[in-house]
Homo-oligomer: A and B are copies of this chain.
Amino acid sequence: MISRPTTEAGPTTEAGTTAEARTLASELPEHVGRTVVLRGWLHRSRVLKAVTFLVLRDRSGLAQVVVHDACVPELEGLAEESVIEVSGTVTANPKAPGGVEVTSPQVTVVSAPTAAPLFDLFRPTVPASLPTVLDHAAVTLRHPRLRAPHAISAASVAGFRAALDGLGFTEIHTPKVVASATESGANVFTLDWFGRPAYLAQSPQFFKQTMVGVFERVYETGPVFRAEPHDTARHLAQYTSLDAELGFITDHREVMAVLGQVLAGMVAAVRERAGEACALLELELPSVPEEIPEIHFEAAQELLAAHTDEDPRGEPDLAPAHERWLSAWALREYGSEFLFVTGYPTAKRPFYTHPEPGRPQFANSFDLLFRGLELVTGGQRLHRYEDYLAALAARGESPEPYAGYLDAFRHGMPPHGGFALGLERWTARLTGADNVRLATLFPRDLHRLTP
């Protein structure tokens, strides 16, 4: 019934991992009446008097294995998280999860754990604190509920790329180490580059704009780095930025329209590619309206002044509490979980921001709020060389550190714009996680540099 692994000192090829075709747990219903080989982890073992139930976990889900022998002492000692191979007969049983189970099994232990998990991975909830979960990611992420957000994250990125591929975008890969700490000055990590100081890139902004001159429409899905000393549930020092930039636009509204299509593509991909994870977390996926509602920054401030205890008029930005209020308002007014806030004050936006025609104190920019949180920032950029020189001069900055970037604008650039979406924030909001760290495999922040 049970074969133990050989206990030779040296590593060898594994018994039981021959090339026999493997069946995944999710495929069992297609194989009723047949003998199959399953491989995975012993998710749970329940030894009763007359019967032992094993639950095997593989990448596709769970499978119930029933051992009817009255007494199998080896099974009692078989630790959860053992890597096992099960050969047995697929038997229909309406009472079993998924309507099938494996009976008359031969169980082989491929690899036995040397320690028990910090908590039972088979229980529906996670009885550990966030730091414990993160400190032991190698094992805690095996818990189906902790794993699910990452399946949803992967599906989201696939949807992002597929939507943009369909719109004629080209994927790019840009440097993550740069010579000057230009884009926002502070909050930048410094490193030693062959004896010279260098900096981790805070965004691919300059590169993606430059590449509009080459490919017109580009995207990148990669890490960005912010040395932000904030210790909050929504800040990470490394996060995955989903960036897009496109040329030949009229203004920021064309960027917003593309973003709407991208969001719809991401939700569709999550539905198609991560359906199991969504079901496990009992998620209600958002519907992306054909036209995402939009409110101008000024109007948003008026609304907040009229309907809340605060008067934010004159402030250059929205506070998190304001974003939550506006999000709730959009849901009430428009039934939309997404809201564009446009026309942020130019002074608070980066120098490359394109002003609103006729009202240069406001920018052709937008933030996208999703379920109360700022998820995306974007807008139209300047595209004329003279405008860049003027914008830098107005901020008292020299154009010199930007030479490689400004080069693009000396050689003819179309009106263009783009956006950046924080993957972890998206996944956290989508899965109802109260901390972006639950949407990050191995978070990096002010305190956390391992595992």
Residues of chain A touching chain B, judged by Cβ–Cβ distance below 8 Å, are 9-14, 17-19, 22, 24, 39, 41-42, 58-60, 79, 81-83, 110-115, 117, 135-139, 141-142, 147, 150-151, 153-154, 157-158, 161, 165, 168, 170-179, 189-194, 196, 198, 200, 207, 210-211, 213-217, 222-223, 225, 227, 229, 237-238, 240, 248-251, 354-355, 357, 360, 382-387, 390, 403-405, 407-408, 410-415, 423, 440-442, 444, 446, 449-451
Within the assembled complex, what's the spacing in Å between the Cα atoms of A170 and B154? Answer: 7
A139 touches B408 (CB 8 A): yes
- Residue of B22, B229, B450 touching A194 (CB-CB under 8 A): B229
Q: Which residue of B lies closest to A446 (CB)?
A: B194
- Residue of B79, B211, B383 touching A111 (CB-CB under 8 A): B383
Within the assembled complex, what's the spacing in Å between the Cα atoms of A430 and B46? Answer: 55
User: A383 → chain B, closest Cβ, in Å?
Assistant: 6
Instruction: With A192-B189, A414-B83 as known contacts, state yes or no: A174 contacts B384, CB within 8 Å.
Output: no
B158 touches A171 (CB 8 A): yes
A223 touches B139 (CB 8 A): no
Within the assembled complex, what's the spacing in Å between the Cα atoms of A139 and B406? Answer: 11
A250 — which chain B residues lie within 8 A by C-beta?
Answer: 13-14, 17-19
Taking each of A81, A111, A158, A172, which has the highest tally of chain B beta carbons within 10 Å of its own beta carbon? A111
A19 — which chain B residues lie within 8 A by C-beta?
Answer: 250
Instruction: With A11-B354, A138-B404 as known contacts, state yes or no: A238 contacts B175, CB within 8 Å.
Output: yes
A161 — which chain B residues lie within 8 A by C-beta?
Answer: 158, 161
Instruction: With A11-B387, A111-B413, A113-B410 as known contacts, state yes or no: A444 contacts B175, CB within 8 Å.
Output: yes
Instruction: With A13-B357, A18-B250 as known contacts, state yes or no: A411 contacts B139, CB within 8 Å.
Output: yes
Given contacts A17-B415, A173-B240, A176-B225, list 6 more A-B pairs with CB under 8 A: A11-B355, A11-B387, A79-B412, A150-B214, A174-B442, A191-B200
User: A430 → chain B, closest Cβ, in Å?
Assistant: 16
Within the assembled complex, what's the spacing in Å between the Cα atoms of A2 and B441? Answer: 56
Question: Could you list some 19 contacts between A and B, CB below 8 A?
Answer: A10-B355, A11-B382, A17-B248, A17-B249, A22-B248, A24-B168, A42-B412, A59-B168, A59-B216, A111-B413, A115-B410, A138-B404, A138-B408, A150-B214, A173-B223, A178-B450, A189-B192, A193-B237, A403-B451
Taking each of A136, A193, A196, A446, which has the highest tally of chain B beta carbons within 10 Å of its own beta carbon? A193
User: A386 → chain B, closest Cβ, in Å?
Assistant: 7
B441 touches A172 (CB 8 A): yes
Within the assembled complex, what's the spacing in Å between the Cα atoms of A81 and B214? Answer: 11
- Residue of B168, B191, B211, B360 touching A192 (CB-CB under 8 A): B191
A-B pairs with the 5 shortest C-beta distances? A404-B451, A191-B191, A138-B408, A59-B216, A81-B412
Within the assembled complex, what's the spacing in Å between the Cα atoms of A17 and B417? Answer: 13
A449 touches B193 (CB 8 A): yes
B193 touches A171 (CB 8 A): no
Q: Which residue of B lies closest to A190 (CB)?
A: B192
A24 — which chain B residues lie within 8 A by C-beta?
Answer: 168
Instruction: With A176-B223, A176-B238, A177-B238 as known contacts, state yes or no: A157 contacts B171, CB within 8 Å.
Output: yes
A179 touches B142 (CB 8 A): no
Within the assembled complex, what's the spacing in Å between the Cα atoms of A131 and B412? Answer: 22
Within the assembled complex, what's the spacing in Å between the Cα atoms of A281 and B408? Answer: 25
Q: Which residue of B lies closest to A401 (CB)?
A: B450
A217 touches B248 (CB 8 A): no
B59 touches A414 (CB 8 A): no
A412 — which chain B residues lie within 8 A by C-beta?
Answer: 41-42, 79, 81-83, 111-113
Instruction: With A177-B449, A215-B59, A357-B13 as known contacts, state yes or no: A115 contacts B150, CB within 8 Å.
Output: no
A386 — which chain B residues lie within 8 A by C-beta?
Answer: 114
Within the assembled complex, what's the spacing in Å between the Cα atoms of A193 and B192? Answer: 12
A222 — which chain B residues lie within 8 A by C-beta?
Answer: 222-223
